[in-house]
């Protein structure tokens, strides 16, 4: 979410990919997002998105993905859902956005309902809580990995790291409302990058 001046401006520049890779289809995106949603846990989904679309399929660059991640975290709603819609839109326009939304929402929702009924029936067993604790640890590890990857891509300047630390302190330590944290940190980052940007890059 940090250095959103660069991330937000880059993520929204230009339309969706006009010539997507030939293997990208709406059904294919639905199946990819459904598979990730059905086989991943918690906040680690963004890490699986990066591995799938950047490292394995090479359908977008790491910088482009991290820009979309920053944008999805700054917007209201569930971050993973926002990111799926953004990835789909960048790859296949509005059809990809719909595919990303349907693939990441509907199949996991059905499974969650079924799992909720199942775990409610076995909640009395200690092994159930041990299994859930293990799944939570794995999800936290994936989220931490994604956070470190994003932090490493920050520009090597003092201000972006100050925003990173201040945002963490506000949200995790001082329990500041996320709405105010995003608005203030985002506004400062956008303003900073706008001032830094060369005059020619700001001209329409």
What is the per-residue pLDDT across 156-187, written as a single tens digit (0 to 9) for each? Answer: 888 888 998 999 899 889 989 988 998 898 88
Cα separations (Å) of 55 from 52, 108, 148? 6, 24, 16
Q: Among the residues of 75-125, which ranges form H helices?
A: 79-121
Q: CA-to-CA distance for 91 and 93, rounded, in angstroms?
A: 6
Confidence at residue 103, expressed as pLDDT on a 0 to 100 scale: 95
More reliable by pLDDT, 138 or 60: 60
Name the one residue in this structure whose structure tokens are 């630390």: 165
Q: Which two tokens stand for residue 121?
A: 């029936």
Confidence of residue 4 (pLDDT cuts 50, 70, 90): very low
Residue 153 pLDDT > 60: yes
pLDDT of 11 over the 50 cut: no
- Cα–Cα nearest to 32, from 58, 46, 52: 52
pTM comes to: 0.66
How confident is the model at residue 194, as a pLDDT? 84
Expressed in percent and rounded to 5, the helix, strand and coil fractions of the chain are 80, 0, 20
State the virtual CA torsion across 33, 140, 3, 150 in degrees, nearest 10.
Answer: -70
Q: Is the pLDDT assigned to residue 190 strictly greater than 80?
A: yes
Domains of the chain, by residue range, sit at 4-156
CB 141, CB 163: distance < 8 Å = no
Question: Residue 114: is its pLDDT beyond 90?
Answer: yes
pLDDT at 203: 56
Tokens of 32: 């990819």
């Amino acid at each position: 979410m940090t250095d959103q001046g660069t991330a937000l401006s880059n993520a929204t520049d230009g339309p969706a990919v006009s010539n997507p890779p030939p293997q990208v289809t709406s059904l294919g995106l639905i199946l990819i997002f459904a598979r990730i949603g059905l086989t991943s846990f918690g906040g680690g989904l963004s890490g699986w998105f990066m591995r799938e679309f950047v490292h394995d399929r090479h359908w977008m660059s790491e910088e482009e993905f991290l820009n979309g991640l920053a944008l999805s975290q700054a917007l209201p709603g569930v971050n993973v859902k926002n990111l799926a819609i953004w990835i789909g839109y960048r790859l296949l326009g509005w059809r990809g956005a719909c595919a990303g939304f349907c693939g990441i929402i509907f199949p996991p929702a059905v499974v969650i309902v079924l799992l909720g009924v199942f775990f409610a029936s076995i909640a009395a067993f200690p092994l159930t809580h041990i299994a859930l604790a293990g799944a939570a640890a794995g999800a936290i590890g994936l989220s931490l990995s994604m956070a470190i990857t994003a932090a490493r891509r920050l520009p090597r300047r003092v201000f972006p790291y100050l925003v990173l630390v201040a945002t963490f302190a506000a949200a995790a330590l001082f329990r500041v409302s996320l709405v105010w944290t995003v608005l203030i940190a985002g506004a400062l980052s956008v303003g900073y990058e706008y001032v830094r940007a060369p005059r020619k890059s700001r001209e329409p």
